[in-house]
Structure 1
Amino acid sequence: MSTILMKSRGLAAERLADVLREDILSGRIASGERLGEVALAERFEVSRGPVRAALNLLNEAGIVTIVPNSGARVRELGRADARALYEVRAALEAEAAMLAAARAGPETAALFGDLLDQHAGEIAAHPEGAYLQGAGDRDFHMVIARMADNPIILRYLARELYPQLSLLRVKHRNVTGRGAKALNEHKRIATAIADGDAEVAGLLMRRHIRNSWTALEAQLSETAKEME
């Protein structure tokens, strides 16, 4: 992948950031690992300027930490960070669900039905695994965020919150998921949105995020015990 990109010395910072983001969120670059400007400039055959700009973009997205006189590292998210993320997520996604319900049309039920049928098949194949969704139109939460038709909510969720949540999941990818329960919660949220019931949709989404946090918090505790 990087061989093709390195053919151009004019590689834009945004494109470089996209490559690094994929490396980080896939786990190829580990949490806490140092991101040296010199090494990255050599890898991509660019000057340090685009590298520095790319790292700043990832810092703004919350997945890289830049410390003066020390450099950049992949961010390590602790329990307090995770709790704060989920608190913000609950507020933003509940509002997104309410807005989506207010904007629901006759095609909404079918759209959710097709999407959740795909998810049900994937969960049935791996009942003990995590609820892994594809990107974009295959991500239930992203579909709702787009349906809400609020560019500010979408920007915060897609550009900042979701990347940080993905970084958090990379660290805990081997824990047992709660796929079947989450799918049922998604179905109830989808029904409320399709029915145009904004109040219920927001309530169910907030409850869903709270349940997700409760499960993750238990996993964080188990991981901490294993490391002791």
Structure 2
Amino acid sequence: MDDLLPFHSHLTTLVIDPVIHRFAGLFDLNGRVGALFLFLSYAVAYALFRFRKYRGLTDAPSFWQFIGGNRVHFHRSALLDYQYYFVRGILHAALMVPVIGLVDPYILRSGDYIAFFTRLWGARPQVGENLGLSLLYGLGVFLVADFKNYWVHRAFHSRWLWAFHKVHHSAAVLVPATASRVHFVEKLAAKLAGVVALGAYAGAFWYACGGEVSRYTLFGVTYLIFIFNALAVNLRHSHVW
């Protein structure tokens, strides 16, 4: 039995724990496919269904048919997306974490930027932290992340990287879980770009403020991410529009 302990340890670390974590993610507020955000998205879809039904703009006999019904949600492509959701957790543990660990020593962090600016211009006085400053910092984080997402996405639409991005566009039908259909290389590029961009932004912002500033959060989630996920973001990958 002792010979199986290393195997069990690796199985737990690389498969069991990531799958459990992804399943638990369906019930927290850190991911867009959390139960609350799915409920809010489908509430918006239902309001749209009632509006179109009232105006005679849809032939769907029921809300379930309006959002695609069994034809969409149990399509082979959709079933594959549900599997992708959990497989991404395994890939993150097995590939993403080790690769990030390899390059992490070579990535400039917020502290490196603060040290650079301090040597260049000297230390700045500490600004008293307040709600407005936390909101401003959170807004900057959101905008920098969105800017990064746009350019990474645009880069993977180029002819040189399209071979990776076409995995996402291979879905025959769209469901919220389709967002998980992303090639590992694209996900890694987005992660690394995010670490670099947010590290630079945080370093510059914190230097200007004379010290670290915390983000304003709602239920433990950055407030703009919470609002963005609550505003029917899951309908981006759907057939209701």
| Same fold by TM-score greater than 0.5 | no
State the TM-score bracket (shorter-chain normalisation). Answer: under 0.3
Answer 1 or 2: higher relative contact order, Cα 8 Å, separation at least 6: 2
TM-score by length of 1: 0.27
TM-score in terms of structure 2 length: 0.26
